A and B are shown apart, each in its own frame.
Chain A
């Protein structure tokens, strides 16, 4: 009987939590940082691009997620992190993730860092490699400048040798 009630309670709270997560509005990093006290310890939904390294620490992982304003550290289970394929760098756009988790203003577990302990993550859009196509304008400008520099060097060498002779 007791077990049944606890199951029912868990199911209800899970539905409630999922509902809260699904319908909760995304909170920007600026709002989280500026109103950290208000959001401290609360479950928030944060959306942004995974950037840099996915840093494995035991059974968990650190991923830094940038929403275009700031990047926040997200602490999540290794299993949840499996979904992350691309992280943002010069060569790639990282996966865009929706993270539902507990926001900590000064996380006790992590030396007072401001972070989010993820409970769920969802990949909104996958990342992809960025092709570094040559900028023809820059290329042409390089050749023009190279020509000027070469002419100048030739001129400087001639004048230099004249000075040395005199």
Chain B
């Protein structure tokens, strides 16, 4: 029997969602201040309006639904999924007010793309966008990458038990430190330290490359936020191609790889345990999949013969491959070149890399390395069972922060999420094909949206059908939250209708 949700459920969900909305409203003050500093009056007003609307909504929710009760599992999951929808709706307000997005739906598309660290964009005339709006585009990636709810956990959620439910609901099932609040704070500490260092380095490189100092540091901060959070937005319409710099590409590769690493591994590096990086199953799986997918890309590019020299083929191929595998979506080629110049095999290599993603408890999307490692180990175990005598006891170990014996429940969980991702990629492909796009292009764009990558082969444009925009929005949302919160939301609606 399905139980109908009680009023207390709604109050808890409304109260905590309201708190998160207030948090988002307050972060809008950052681009507003930047707007004022750069003498951008109207953009500053856009953010003031958005802040006021957001705070009003948040205040109404927290007052109407005021409660002191802690969250249960279902409520925690629902708060997460609804918070992401709310963040998208309010985060899109300043974007829409700027006039650089054709419709509110387009602004919502970019807001979801930003929060989910995807990087697909429908912005118009990006090269004339204000500093304030540009900062907001990147800031929402930074917030979304660490986790919208993590802000709430590290600032206003009091109960540790409720905080853990929110943390898990946001697609993270590992804690770095025993206490989830301290884990959230550690994630922020790591990100802010890297932000300061990388902004300095990218800023200096930018100045050396001939950029104005203000632009160099502004771009440095924005590019870091989008690269570390494996997002893929850039301040200019040409993405990374704007900089025409090998050094810039190398630094962004390093940042993207850092972003693809599990925060637990960052913690180990910070505490001096560097051996863990090489022993960890995620790092090993990532190295293997990068090597394999890069090989496919190279063979594909070589077959097509688009690049005149091997060095150039390596540079272009490797950058796009790392960008796709870390689910960042930074590009040093134009979208259409994927279709016209890369050939089918190289595209398949990229699609595989996008689908796989980076580390768990990182800012990446996609299936993720730990799950892939677990499935591979399970496969080896089953092969051993076939080869070895029947009486032999076959045990399979894997190293992820500690030695773990592989259990069936781990394999089941990994396979469940993997199948869910594959289904999500498939649904998006089907919708794309229903709108008349070719199979490979639809698969490419769908995988890019669902794995939160941000590569586009040209389908994502302001002129694409509204139905496809909505499909990609749902894919980005579902992919980022890794299904459970979204499934809970669907279950909740069923319970509202059918429950007793």
Contacts and interface: CB of A to CB of B under 8 A. Distances in A.
Contacts of B48: 142
A112 interface: yes
A101 interface: no
B389 interface: no
Interface in A129-166: 132-135, 138-139, 141-142, 145-146, 148-149, 152-153, 155-156, 159, 163
A139 B45 contact: yes
Interface stretch (A3-11, A12-20, A56-64, A116-124): A56-64
Contact of A52 (B41, B131, B236, B340): B236
B417 interface: no
A90 B210 contact: no
Interface stretch (B74-82, B151-159, B240-248): B240-248
B282 to A, nearest CB: 31
A55 interface: yes
A135 B98 CA distance: 11
Contacts of B340: 34, 36-37
Contact of B244 (A55, A89, A138, A149): A55
Interface stretch (B56-64, B136-144, B160-168, B259-267): B56-64
A88 B236 contact: no
A141 B40 contact: no
B53 interface: yes
Of the listed residues B40, B49, B307, the one surrounded by the most CB atoms of chain A closer than 10 A to its CB is B49
Given A55-B211, A71-B236, A90 B129 contact: yes
B127 A71 contact: yes
A115 B312 CA distance: 14
Interface in A54-103: 54-57, 61-62, 64, 66, 70-71, 73, 88-91
A124 to B, nearest CB: 18
B127 A89 contact: yes
A132 B39 contact: yes
Given A90-B131, A152-B60, A132 B41 contact: yes
A21 interface: no
**How many residues of B sit at the interface, in one of the four size bands?**
35 or more
Contacts of A57: 209-210
B498 interface: no
Contacts of B53: 145
A36 B337 contact: yes
A106 interface: yes
A166 to B, nearest CB: 12
Interface stretch (B283-291, B328-336, B484-492): B328-336
B280 interface: no
A149 B50 CA distance: 12
B391 interface: no
Given A142-B45, A142-B48, A159-B63, A61 B215 contact: no
A52 B134 CA distance: 13
Contact of A70 (B39, B45, B237): B237
Contact of B49 (A53, A56, A106, A141): A141
B46 interface: yes
A135 B316 CA distance: 44
Interface in A27-56: 33-34, 36-37, 51-56
A36 B45 contact: no
Contacts of A64: 127, 236, 238, 242
Given A71-B242, A112-B316, A156-B59, A53 B210 contact: yes
Contacts of A70: 237-238, 334
Nearest to A66: B127
A33 B337 contact: yes
A133 B43 CA distance: 11
A51 B242 CA distance: 10
B210 A111 contact: no
A112 B244 CA distance: 10
Interface in B194-250: 209-212, 215, 236-238, 241-244, 246
Contacts of A91: 39
Q: 10 tightest A-B contacts by CB?
A: A55-B210, A112-B312, A145-B52, A51-B127, A90-B130, A56-B210, A138-B45, A53-B211, A112-B316, A62-B244
20 contacts: A36-B337, A52-B242, A57-B209, A62-B210, A64-B242, A70-B334, A73-B238, A73-B241, A90-B43, A106-B316, A112-B315, A113-B241, A134-B41, A134-B42, A138-B42, A142-B49, A145-B49, A145-B52, A145-B53, A163-B66
Interface of B: 38-43, 45-46, 48-49, 52-53, 55-56, 59-60, 62-63, 66, 97, 127-131, 209-212, 215, 236-238, 241-244, 246, 306-309, 312-313, 315-316, 332-334, 336-337, 340-341
